Amino acid sequence: MRNVTVFVTLKQGVLDPQGKAIQESLNSLGYQEVQGARVGKYIELQVEDGPNLEARIKEMCDKLLANPVIEDYSFDVEEAVRS
Amino acid sequence: MRNVTVFVTLKQGVLDPQGKAIQESLNSLGYQEVQGARVGKYIELQVEDGPNLEARIKEMCDKLLANPVIEDYSFDVEEAVRS
């Protein structure tokens, strides 16, 4: 079993209203030092080991987890700790 | 300027219907090897350097970025690359 962590972020240049709202909320709470905020997704998958694991995860990202038109993604694959 | 990356995840034991939907969608697309999925948030902040930076970021997480009742968070602080 592998733990796969997928990070999905908006591409540079794509407007991020949720991030803007977070920045403005933090500023109005007194955290004036926050100059920018962008929000992405963080997806943890438990995946059975198999052939072409990385290629299949890339496919999953392209087909379902990210929207390649407006989002970038990256992922890490780690051996799951067995208990 | 610092780049702060905040990861917000649901606590162990809290139901994650979005993750369940992702798992079932991947399974029905033919990715039977996916045994579990959990979704979190990934927030990138640009923060002016200052005293008590880490303590202030912890406060931001507790007050706004995460719901400490059902979510865990962690964060990394990095020196921003100046261009």
Which DSSP symbol is given to B42?
Answer: E
Note the pLDDT of residue B82. Answer: 63
Q: Do A47 and B35 make contact, defined as CB atoms within 8 angstroms?
A: yes
8 A C-beta contact, residue B37 and residue A24: no
Which stretches in chain B have pLDDT values below 50? none
Q: Do B36 and A46 make contact, defined as CB atoms within 8 angstroms?
A: yes
Instruction: Taking residues A15-19, report their average pLDDT.
Output: 96
A11 chain-B contacts, CB cut-off 8 A: none
8 A C-beta contact, residue B78 and residue B15: no
Task: Please state the ipTM of this predicted complex.
Answer: 0.85
Identify from A5, A20, A29, A43 which residue to disrupt to test chain B contact, counting B C-beta atoms within 10 A and taking the largest count.
Answer: A43
Q: What is the mean pLDDT of chain A?
A: 94
Q: Do A42 and B42 make contact, defined as CB atoms within 8 angstroms?
A: yes
**Domain range spanning residue A59?**
2-79
Q: Minimal Cα distance from A25: which residue of B?
A: B64
pLDDT, tens digit (0-9, with 9 covering 90-100), for B58-73: 999 999 999 999 999 9
**CATH code for the domain in which residue B38 is found:** 3.30.1280.10
Q: Do A64 and B26 make contact, defined as CB atoms within 8 angstroms?
A: yes
Amino acid at A69: V
CA distance from start to end of chain B: 12
- Give the 3-state secondary structure of residue A13: coil
Q: How many domains does chain A contain in total?
A: 1
Helix ranges, A13-83 (H): 17-28, 53-60
Cβ-Cβ contacts under 8 Å for A5 (sequence gap 6 or more)? A42, A43, A44, A45, A75, A76, A78
Supply angle C-alpha A30, A39, A57, rounded to 5. Answer: 155
Of B8, B44, B60, Cβ closest to residue A26: B60
Of A22, A44, A50, Cβ closest to residue B37: A44
